């Protein structure tokens, strides 16, 4: 399959095809791909997890992931970015988020991939509910920064 000329940004309700995504970002001009594969752990805070359910504010989540990819291209010398998050019910061991970044050199790919997952976890409106044998809870999350806080004018220094 020919490599796409664009990034791959998606929210999916079925299992993520990791190998296909890694292949899609791989180009002949690249020397490295760094992958983040986030999957469902069998416990949370010493409680045995049965399964997870993810939900999203889908159009906003897609837009926010696209912003992350755009920022990556501005900040890092990378070729292509794939960022795919799965929604719905996920079993132990299933991939919930998959990020692959291709680049000519490893350093940019590592930095971009780290930025991608860290920023996704902080700013993309996706929520995880954890199901245990004796109940369920919404996972502790991070409060995205409000624009009024992030766009405050800094004094010249």
Q: Where on the chain is the footprint of another protein (CB under 8 A)?
A: 38, 54-57, 59-61, 63, 85, 96-97, 117, 120-129, 138-148
CB of 137 vs another protein, minimal distance in Å = 9
What kind and span of H or E run contains 121?
helix 106-123
d(CA 13, CA 140): 23
Q: Which two tokens stand for residue 99?
A: 């990020």
Q: Which two tokens stand for residue 41?
A: 């752990």
By C-beta, is 15 or 145 nearer to another protein? 145
By C-beta, is 151 or 157 nearer to another protein? 151
CB of 141 vs another protein, minimal distance in Å = 3
d(CA 55, CA 138): 11
CB of 27 vs another protein, minimal distance in Å = 26
């Amino acid at each position: 399959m020919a490599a796409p000329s664009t990034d791959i940004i998606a929210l999916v309700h079925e299992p993520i095809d990791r190998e296909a995504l890694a292949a899609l970002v791989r180009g002949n001009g690249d020397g490295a791909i760094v992958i983040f594969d986030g999957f469902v752990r069998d416990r949370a805070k010493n409680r045995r997890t049965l399964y997870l359910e993810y939900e999203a504010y889908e159009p906003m989540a897609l837009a926010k992931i696209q912003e992350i990819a755009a920022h990556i291209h501005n900040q890092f010398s990378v070729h292509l970015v794939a960022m795919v998050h799965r929604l719905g019910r996920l079993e132990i061991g299933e991939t919930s988020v998959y990020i692959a970044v291709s680049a000519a050199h490893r350093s940019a790919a590592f930095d971009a991939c780290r930025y991608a997952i860290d920023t996704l976890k902080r700013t993309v409106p996706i929520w995880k509910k954890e199901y245990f044998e004796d109940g369920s809870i919404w996972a502790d999350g991070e409060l995205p920064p409000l624009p009024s806080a992030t766009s405050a004018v800094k004094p010249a220094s």
